[in-house]
Amino acid sequence: MKFPKTHTLEQIAGIINSKFVGDKDFPVLGMNEIHVVTKGDIVFVDHPKYYDKALESAATIVLINKEVDCPKGKALLISDDPFRDFNKLTNHFKPFISSNKSISATAKIGEGTVIQPNCFIGNDVVIGKNCTIHSNVSIYDGTVIGDNVIIHANTVLGASAFYYKKRPEGFDQLLSGGNVVIENNVDIGASCTIDKGVTASTTIKEGTKIDNLVQVGHDTVIGKKCLIASQVGIAGCVVVEDEVTIWGQVGITSGITIGTKAVISAKAGVSKSLEGNKSYFGIPADDFRSKYKEIAAIRKIPEILEKLKNL
């Protein structure tokens, strides 16, 4: 998430009431999660295990809960609770703005687009030409939709990321300041949910077709011309490359990559990155050749036990 204008380190420290290390006029351009940070961004870290990763990342401002040596060319914001203060910054730069209309006055809707009754179109939504948005679809603030997109009834675009920090009193949610981007010629089935990014965009690329009852987590990027069948659940920060086919009830864990033209059979559980141009099934998912060898070996266990018994 980039800020509307450049801020200084001193200004940002003032917003969250924190100490800082570095030139008070050090430029701050935005804030992002670590997997999408660029120069000028703030990244937050609140666990020693990830200090080095944050300090060595592309981010040039690190919001951290310990005073450490500041890397050359960077700045630090010292906070007793970086998670809380990252939320403060999200609230400051991307506050929730309620709407009193079904279709916001700031929404931009292209020529030839049809919006069926009982839809909600939020603030600053952009919808391209010749789209069809069926009844009871909710499109949250800042969503961007290309041309020739079809979205079926009861789908929600832009709900908050499922991202929480456990505290003694319960769970504290990391606020989402990103959005959803749907490119041209995408079809989305009924009752799907596509969560917005925490600071960046959850993206469905051109030509992808999504069946009913599919969940796509925050900051996930789904490539071009993918096919995703019913009841698939994809966690946050996943990269699904182009022309991947995912069959029904597949579950995919966070932060992994599915290679180009991979095929994942129904009910597979994907817990690690998968190479492209292969077919996979099972829990945990593996390529067909490896999985069939595994099944064959398991079937031999009774025979092996019987032989051992007779020794």
Which helix (H) or strand (E) element contains residue 286?
Answer: strand 286-287
Q: What is the identity of the amino acid at 286?
A: D
DSSP string, 70-122: PPTT-EEEE-S-HHHHHHHHHHHHS-----SSSB-TT-EE-TT-EE-TT-EE-
Q: How far apart are CA 257 and CA 221, in angstroms?
A: 10
Q: Token pair of 14, please? A: 């003032």
The torsion angles phi and psi of 180, rounded to 5 degrees, stand at -120, 135
Q: How far apart are CA 1 and CA 161, in angstroms?
A: 15
**Residues 7, 134, 152, 218: which is the catalytic one?**
218
Tracing tokens 């920090």 back to the chain, one arrives at: 165
Element (H, E) at 170: strand 170-173
> How would you classify the pairing of strands 215-216 and 193-195?
parallel
- Chain mean position to CA 280: 23
- From start to end of 211-249, where are the E strands? 215-216, 221-222, 227-228, 233-234, 239-240, 245-246
218 catalytically annotated: yes
Positions annotated as catalytic residues are 218
